[in-house]
């Protein structure tokens, strides 16, 4: 696929994806969104691509969000069934924002303001490097537009519930230093140096073994909202899989090293035995409880 609104560059194992509509402040329209769907999946499935760096063209704008000209052309919804299907099937109206299947590291080089869907794009990254002139804000609040590209799901995870609610409700703009203070930005660099620093960090990450790193990222992402016990199981499964194959890294979209099909690890056998033991213990307690309840005389209600 040829890109009209993106620049996809690969240097070794590092891919740099530039949102390239500088005249429109790198705002995302329908055509650009389709290109983003393809570009993100291209990175995900490329065995030689280890780390993704996303940025905006120029030195003033990361992304202004959804192209409001594009938004103004949306009319009334005639087919609600088709709309409902699109909500669940579309990878995202402003990019690859509604899928959670890229477990390779992602770094955002925020070189300017990131507003509305631009902020949501920055939230797709695992690490955010902000230039001195970077700003952030849920400015869609001014136009009565919902955060439909993951704002309400990802922002609370990054900055916490209270901070996220303030930014989402007020639509307030914050500078890069406040963003760093609340955890939205990991590192602040001088103006014009965000991309260089992000690429430098990406090369350092690409030099590391990839399998366990991807497995750990997947465990963190897929463990959101689970209990500690449930969230720990995928971690041990990934660890046993890596150990079983003795593979330092697994290429492609795999989150970690894969063990041969049909091969059961010692960890999985132990987990199965523990699960069977717990089930037997639970059934025994239930049976004992029924016997105790059945041996007691039924109590009658007394009415005045």
Assess whether pLDDT exceeds 70 at residue 107: yes
So where are the chain's domains?
6-206, 211-295
Report the 10 Å Cβ neighbour count for 235: 16
Residue 189, helix vs strand vs coil: strand
DSSP 158-186: HH-HHHHHHHHHH---EEHHHHHHTTS-S
Q: Which of 35, 135, 140, 218 is catalytic?
A: 140
Nearest residue to 58 (alpha-carbon basis) of 94, 32, 16, 26: 26
Question: Could you give the C-alpha distances from 192 to 56, 133, 189, in angstroms and in order?
Answer: 11, 9, 8
* Residue 244 pLDDT greater than 60, yes or no: no
Model pLDDT, residue 274: 59
For 135-178, write each residue's pLDDT tens digit: 999 998 988 888 888 899 999 999 999 999 999 999 999 999 99
Active site residue 120: yes
The CA-based diameter of the chain, rounded to the nearest angstrom, is 86
The superfamily in CATH containing domain 6-206 is: 2-enoyl-CoA Hydratase; Chain A, domain 1 (3.90.226.10)
State CA 135 to chain mean position distance.
Answer: 21
pLDDT of residue 225: 82
pLDDT over 50 (residue 235): yes
Q: Is the dihedral of CA 230, 231, 235, 238 positive or negative?
A: positive
Q: Which two tokens stand for residue 132?
A: 């001195």
Rounded to whole angstroms, how far apart are CA atoms 214 and 47? 13
Residue 212 binned pLDDT confidence (cut-offs 50, 70, 90): very high
pLDDT digits (tens, 9 = 90+) for 255-280: 343 433 444 445 555 555 555 555 55
Calculate ∠ Cα 31-33-36, nearest 5°.
Answer: 115
Specify the pLDDT at position 256: 40
Distance CA(176)–CA(184), nearest Å, equals 9
Q: Which of 59, 73, 81, 120 is catalytic?
A: 120
Give the pLDDT band of residue 233 (cuts 50, 70, 90).
low
Contact 124, 106 (CB under 8 A): yes
End-to-end CA distance of the chain: 82
pLDDT for 238 equals 61
Query: Mean pLDDT, to the nearest integer, of 76-105?
Result: 84
């Amino acid at each position: 696929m040829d890109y009209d609104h993106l620049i996809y560059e690969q240097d070794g194992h590092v891919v740099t994806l530039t949102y390239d509509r500088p005249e429109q402040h790198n705002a995302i329209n329908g055509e650009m969104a389709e290109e983003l769907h393809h570009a993100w999946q291209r990175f995900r499935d490329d065995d030689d691509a280890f780390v993704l760096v996303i940025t905006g063209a120029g030195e003033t704008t990361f992304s202004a969000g959804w192209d409001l000209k594009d938004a103004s052309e949306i009319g009334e919804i005639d087919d609600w069934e088709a709309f409902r299907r699109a909500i669940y099937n579309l990878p995202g109206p402003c990019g690859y924002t509604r899928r959670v299947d890229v477990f390779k590291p992602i770094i955002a080089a925020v070189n300017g303001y990131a507003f509305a869907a631009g902020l949501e794009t920055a939230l797709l990254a695992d690490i955010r490097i902000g230039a001195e002139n970077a700003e952030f804000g849920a400015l869609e609040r001014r136009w009565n537009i919902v955060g439909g590209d993951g704002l309400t799901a990802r922002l609370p995870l990054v900055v916490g519930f209270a901070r996220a609610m303030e930014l989402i409700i007020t639509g307030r703009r914050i500078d890069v230093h406040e963003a760093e203070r609340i955890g939205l930005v990991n590192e602040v660099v001088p103006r014009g140096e965000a991309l260089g620093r992000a690429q430098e960090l990406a090369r350092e990450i690409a030099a590391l073994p990839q399998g366990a790193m991807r497995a750990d990222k997947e465990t963190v992402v897929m463990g959101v909202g689970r209990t500690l016990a449930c969230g720990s199981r995928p971690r041990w499964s990934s660890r046993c899989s890596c150990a079983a194959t003795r593979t330092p890294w697994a290429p492609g979209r795999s989150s970690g090293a894969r063990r041969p099909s049909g091969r059961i690890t010692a960890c999985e056998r132990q987990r199965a035995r523990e699960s069977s033991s717990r089930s037997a213990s639970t059934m025994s307690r239930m049976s004992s409880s029924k016997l105790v309840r059945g041996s007691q005389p039924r109590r009658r209600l007394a009415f005045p």
